[in-house]
Every structure is written in C-alpha cells, then in structure tokens.
Amino acid sequence: MTESGFKNLERMIIQRLTKGLDKRLTYHNVQHTIDVLKQAERIAREEKIEDAEQLLLLKIAALYHDTGFLDTYSGHELRSCEIMMEDLQNGSLSPQALETIKGMIMATRIPQSPVGILEKIICDADLDYLGREDFLPISQHLMKEFLVYGIIKVEAEWDPIQIGFFEKHVYFTNNSRTVRQPVKMKHLDQLKQKQANLNLTKNNDGK
C-alpha cells in the first residue's frame, strides 16, 4: 500500500466512524481514533521506528483498532479485526502483514498484553491520555459512556474503578515511561486524595 493509498483509507475510515458510531460513545469516538493514530506516530518516532512498512502497518492498526464499535461494544477488538480483514483482503497487503495488524489490534484489549515493539506502541498510544494534562476531561467522557452503557450504575463508582485501573496499568515503551508515567502517577495521587477526602466526609457525616 502506498502513502496515497493509506491517505485514502484514512479518509474512508474516519468518514465511516463519523457517520456510523453511536453518538453515545463519548470516549470511543472518532476523535479517539484520530488521537491514537497521532500518538502512535509520535511514539514510533521517539522509539526510532524508521522502517516504512512497519510504520504503515502501525498506522493502519491505529485506524482500525476501534472500528468494531460500529457493530458491538463487548468484544469490539475481534470485530475490528474482522472489519479490517473485510476491507484489506484485496491483495494490497500480504497475509503476514494482515496478521501483524490483527496482533496490534488485539493487543489493545484490556488487560493489555503486547508482544513486540509495534504492539507496545499501539497499546501506549491507546491509553496515552492517562499521562496527559487533558486526562480529566477525557476521563469524564469515558465515565459518561460507561454510565450510558450500564458498565457503571452511578458516578460514585467511577473514581474507585479508575484508581484500580491506574494501579494495574503499565506503559510499555521507553518514551511513554519517561514522558507519560510521571504525569499518570500525579493523576493517581490526585484520585486517591479525592477518594480519601470523600471517605472522610462520609465518616464525619455518619457520626
């Protein structure tokens, strides 16, 4: 696939997501896919990935990694792989390349378990926001989505879930560990302090 071929694919996928995604997906929306693509390219540069084919496959995986949300919420990664295969089994990429893309998409499934540098990059790109200054508004979008889809019942469940997720999550690339991890830990400290203050208030009210 040429660079112009990728650009055509990018326009097609972005258009499909814009039109087809449920508007209640306030986190897993087209903006998220665009962000993951951007962060994947950035991390790849920082990790000195210069092979043109590897970079192309990484960008295709980033584009497709959440397309499964067009059809399903649970198990969307598997559906994303199916959509990618339906679109790209036209000879433009080798069977090995398609398997590499599938591996990257499936690596983003929680809990993440990437193998190899490309899978590590896409995993870190997918959760890049955890270590950024725009974490709070993005996390609010995810909370709203979880409420709408019944993953959580009330807002009070959200911060404890986030704290548990933060404590289990790790970044895999050297760049994300250096650039994002310190900010992520700051957010975790803030979440814990907020929860501690809430618990203290509840205890005092109960006296």
Q: How far apart are CA 70 and CA 162, in angstroms?
A: 25
Evaluate if residue 132 carries a pLDDT over 80: yes
75 phi-psi bin (left φ>0, alpha ψ -120 to 50, beta other): left
Q: What is the mean pLDDT of residues 172-186?
A: 98
Which amino acid is it at 133? Answer: E
Evaluate if residue 201 carries a pLDDT over 90: no
Report which DSSP code applies to 112: P
Q: How far apart are CA 133 and CA 207, in angstroms?
A: 38
Quick one: tokens of 11? 């326009």
**Quick check: helix, strand or coil at residue 49?**
coil
Evaluate if residue 4 carries a pLDDT over 90: no
The reported pTM is 0.93
Q: How far apart are CA 152 and CA 145, in angstroms?
A: 9
Per-residue pLDDT tens digits for 29-68: 999 999 999 999 999 999 999 999 999 999 999 999 999 9
Q: Which residue has the tokens 């790849």?
A: 44
Can you list the domains of the chain with their CATH numbers? 3-205 (1.10.3210.10)
